[in-house]
């Protein structure tokens, strides 16, 4: 997963520095090579995830940990968001141990701190309804008070969703 993340970062760096306007010129070879390497790494990642999917959907703890590893690495690439949505939705109905629950809450907090908003965030928010505790709500509340922009928006969204569905955490 880290190799996919690095390949994605390298491709975007090559794109930004080597491929300037006008776009009528042919793409530089370095950009093409970085893109192709990234696609190879992305295919490897999804082939690896496919090995864990059946066990994950059956609730096997080691497969859940492997999928959580994937969810924790933020790769903003095609297909990753859709896969994350699917996994977040399924995690709501799987038996999780306390370490796995903590990892998911830490991931939600980490994603709240970023200035990006991706489609899978809503499914993560819905998952936190089940897992949230008072300490997590206090952390998100502190983040909301001390931030602005998208971070504040995401924190408010998370807090509102939890509070609307968990009256015990008011």
Examine the domain organization and report whether 107 and 59 are in the same domain.
no
Is residue 21 scored above 60 in pLDDT? no
Tens of pLDDT along 24-60?
A: 677 788 888 998 999 999 999 999 899 999 999 999 9
Examine the domain organization and report whether 110 and 47 are in the same domain.
no
Tens of pLDDT along 46-104?
A: 998 999 999 999 999 999 999 999 999 877 777 888 999 999 999 999 999 999 999 99
Examine the domain organization and report whether 105 and 67 are in the same domain.
no
Nearest to 155 by CA among 119, 110, 123: 110
Q: How many domains are contained in the chain?
A: 2
- Report the largest interatomic distance among the alpha carbons of the chain, rounded to a whole angstrom: 60
Examine the domain organization and report whether 77 and 101 are in the same domain.
no
Where among 61, 95, 129 does a domain terminate? 95
* 135 vs 119, higher pLDDT: 135
Examine the domain organization and report whether 111 and 71 are in the same domain.
no
Examine the domain organization and report whether 90 and 117 are in the same domain.
no
Distance CA 49, CA 46 (A): 5
- Label residue 34 exposed, middle or buried (CB < 10 Å: 0-12, 13-18, 19+): buried
Nearest to 106 by CA among 153, 59, 68: 68
Examine the domain organization and report whether 91 and 104 are in the same domain.
no
Examine the domain organization and report whether 107 and 120 are in the same domain.
yes
Examine the domain organization and report whether 5 and 85 are in the same domain.
yes
Examine the domain organization and report whether 82 and 139 are in the same domain.
no
Examine the domain organization and report whether 145 and 161 are in the same domain.
yes
Its sign, for the CA torsion 134, 147, 125, 97, is negative
- 161 in Cβ contact with 125 (< 8 Å): yes
Where among 95, 129, 154 does a domain terminate? 95
pLDDT at 77 (0 to 100): 78
Tallying the residues shown for the chain, one arrives at: 170
pLDDT at 30 (0 to 100): 86
How many CA atoms does the CB half-sphere of 9 hold within 13 Å? 9
Where among 76, 95, 114 does a domain terminate? 95
Domain holding 10, by residue range, is: 1-95
pLDDT at 23 (0 to 100): 64
Is residue 152 scored above 60 in pLDDT? yes
Tens of pLDDT along 156-169?
A: 999 999 999 998 98
Examine the domain organization and report whether 107 and 159 are in the same domain.
yes
Please, which contacts does 8-17 make with residues 24 or more away whose CB atoms are closer than 8 Å?
8/38, 8/41, 8/42, 8/75, 8/76, 8/77, 10/34, 10/37, 10/38, 11/35, 11/37, 11/38
């Amino acid at each position: 997963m880290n190799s996919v993340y690095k390949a994605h970062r390298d491709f975007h760096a090559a794109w930004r520095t080597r491929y300037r306007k006008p776009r009528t010129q042919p793409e530089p070879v370095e950009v093409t090579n970085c893109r192709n390497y990234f696609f190879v790494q992305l295919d490897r990642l999804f082939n690896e995830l496919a090995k864990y999917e059946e066990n994950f959907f059956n609730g096997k703890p080691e497969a859940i940990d492997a999928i959580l590893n994937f969810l924790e690495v933020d790769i903003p690439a095609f297909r990753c968001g859709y896969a994350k949505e699917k996994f977040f939705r399924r995690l709501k109905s799987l038996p999780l141990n306390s370490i796995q629950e903590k990892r998911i809450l830490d991931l939600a907090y980490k994603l709240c701190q970023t200035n990006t908003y991706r489609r899978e965030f809503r499914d993560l928010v819905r998952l936190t309804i089940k897992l949230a505790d008072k300490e997590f709500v206090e952390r998100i509340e502190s983040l909301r008070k001390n931030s602005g922009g998208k971070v504040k928006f995401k924190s408010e969204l998370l807090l509102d969703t939890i509070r609307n569905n968990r009256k015990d955490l008011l």
